[in-house]
Structure 1
C-alpha cells in the first residue's frame, strides 16, 4: 500500500471515531473559559492601574493580548498531545493494527501516514484553540479599552507559531504512543510529566542556580519559547529563573523531541509483534 493510500486509511480511522471530537470539545471549553476569565482579569488589572494588588505583576497593556491568546498553547497543548498518543495506543489496545500491518507490511509507511494525519489533526486543534481563546479574550480586552493586538502582524505571527507548536505536540504524542504501547500507561506518563514533573522542575528553577538553563530545554518550556508568550513565564510562575531561548530554538527543541520519540518507537516497539 502506498503512503497516500495509507494516509487515507489513517484519516478514516481517526475521524470515524469519537475520540478526536470529544477532546476537541473539551479543548474549546477549557481554553475558551480560561481565556475569558483571564482576559477579564488582566484587562481589569491593567485598566485599574494596579496590577500588583491584583496579583498580575509583570503584566501591562503591551503584553496582555499575547498572554491571553497564548493560552491556546500554554495550557491547550495537552489535548493535541493526548490525541496523538491515542491515535496509536487505541490501535494497540483494540488490535486494529493487525489488519493494518497485513494490508501494509511496511510498518514505516504506516507510521509516516500517522504523522501526516497527525499534522492535519494538530492543525485542526490549533484552529479550534485559537478561535476559543482569541474570541472571548479579545472581546474582554476591547470591552475594557485595552488594545487587542489583532491588527498587528506580530500577533498573527504568534498565531502561526501557536499552530506550529500544537502540530508538533501532536507528533510528540504519536511518538509517545508508538513507544509506549499500553494506553493507560502512555496517558499516565503524558499527564504526569506535563502536569506535575515539568511544572515542578520549572518552579524549582526559580530557586536553584543554573537549573533554569536546563529547564529551558524541557518540552513545555521549548513550546512556550516557540510561541513567544506564556502566562507562566510572564507572571514569573514557572520557568522564570532563566531567559527563554529564541523562538526558533524552542521550535527545533520541540521538533527534536518528536523526532527522537518517533525513532525510538520505530526501533524498539513498532517492529514488534502486535499481541
Structure 2
C-alpha cells in the first residue's frame, strides 16, 4: 500500500473518534479566554482605563504578544493531539490490524506524519484565529492599534500556524517513542507545564544558562513565532536568542530525533 492510501486510512481513523473535536474545542476555549482576559487587562492598563500601580505597559507591540498566545501557551494541545494519534493505537490494539494490512511499518509512520501535518495546519489556523479574534476586538475597544494592516503581523500569524503544525509532528514522535499513553501524556504535561518553564525562568536570572534554555523546544517555538507573552515576565527573554528560521529548525530537529528514536526503538517491535 502507498503512503497516500494509508494516509486516507489515518484520516478515517482520526475523524471517526471524538478526539479531534474535543481537543479542538479545548484549544478554542482555552486560547480565546486567555487572549480575551489578557487583552482586556493589558488594554485597560495601557489606555489608562484601569488605574494600576504597576508600570504602564506600552501599547506599541502589545498586539503581536497577544496574537502569539496560541503558540506560546496553547502548543501543548497540538502536542498532546499528536501523541494521542499514536499512543491510542497502542492502547486500543488497533495498530496490530494496521500493521497486518500494511506490513511496511515505515509507510504507516510516514502516513501518520502526513496526516498529522494536515491536521496540524487546521489546528494552527483555529488556534491563531482564537487568539487574534478576541485580542484584536478588545484592543480596538480600548483604542489600541491592532496592527492587522501590517504584513509583519500576518507573517507572525502564519508562523503561529507553522509552529502549532510542527508541534503535532513532535507529538507523533513522542507517541512513537513512549508507547504507554498515560506515561506519554503525563510526561508531556510535566515537561511543558513545569520543567521547561522553570528552566527558562531560571535562565533569565542565571548567567550562562540562557545559552542552554534557548534551545529548549518551547523557546525554539517562541523564536519561530517571533513573539511570546512570557517576554513580559522575563521568562521568554531567551526566545529572542534565535532567528525565526533557526527556531523552526530546532523545533523540527526535535521532531526528527523523536521520530527516528521512536521508529528505531519501538515502532519495529512486536505489537500484541
TM bucket (normalised to shorter chain) is: over 0.9
Residue 123 of structure 2: aligned partner: 125
**Correspondence for 2:160 among 153, 159, 162:** 162
Residue 52 of structure 1 and its aligned partner are, at CA, apart by 7.4
**Cα 1:111/1:55, change in 2 over 3 Å:** farther
Q: Which residue of 2 aligns with 1:254?
A: 251
Change in Cα spacing, 1:147 to 1:120, as seen in structure 2 (3 Å) is: same
Deviation (angstroms), 1:38: 0.5
Equivalent residue, structure 1, for 2:21: 21
How many corresponding residue pairs?
272
TM-score (norm 1): 0.95
1:215 and 1:239 in contact (8 A); partners too: no
What is aligned with 2:100? 102
**C-alpha distance in 2, partners of 1:195/1:232?**
13
Post-superposition CA distance 1:161-199 (Å, at most 9, x none)? 001100100000000000000000000110000000000
For residue 264 of structure 1, the aligned residue among 246, 261, 269 is 261
In the alignment, which residue of structure 1 is the partner of 2:90? 92
Structure 2 SS opposite 1:119: helix
Distance apart, 1:55 and its partner CA = 6.2
- Cα distance between partner residues in 2 of 1:160 and 1:43: 24
Q: Aligned partners of 2:70 and 2:151: how far apart in 1?
A: 18
How far apart are 1:85 and its partner, in Å?
A: 0.1
Q: CA deviation at 1:237?
A: 3.5
Separation in 1, partners of 2:118, 2:55 = 39
Runs of 4+ in structure 1 over 2 Å off: 49-56, 239-244
Displacement of 1:43 after TM fit?
1.1
Q: Deviations over 1:223-251 (max 9, x none)?
A: 00100110102x13413268421111100
Structure 2 SS opposite 1:151: coil
Measure, in 2, the Cα distance between the counterparts of 1:31 and 1:262: 28
The answer on whether the counterparts of 1:205 and 1:239 sit within 8 Å (CA) in structure 2 is no
Kindly indicate whether residue 191 of structure 2 is the aligned counterpart of residue 211 of structure 1: no
Aligned residue in 2 for 1:6:
6
Q: Is the 8 A contact 1:213 1:242 kept in 2?
A: no
Conserved 8 A contact 1:126-1:162: yes
1:147 Cα deviation (Å)?
0.5
Q: Paired residue for 1:78?
A: 76
TM-score normalised to the size of structure 2? 0.96
Cα deviation 1:74-132 (Å, max 9, x = unaligned)? 01100100000000000000000001000100000000000001011111111111121
List runs of 5+ in structure 2 lacking aligned partners: none
Which region of structure 1 is more displaced relative to structure 2, 243-252 or 191-200? Answer: 243-252
C-alpha deviation, 1:47, in angstroms: 1.1
Q: CA RMSD in A?
A: 1.6
Please tell me whether the aligned partners of residues 207 and 241 of structure 1 are also in contact (alpha carbons under 8 angstroms): no
Query: Structure 1 CA distance, aligned partners of 2:30 and 2:216?
Result: 24
- 1:212–1:239: 8 Å Cα contact kept in structure 2? no
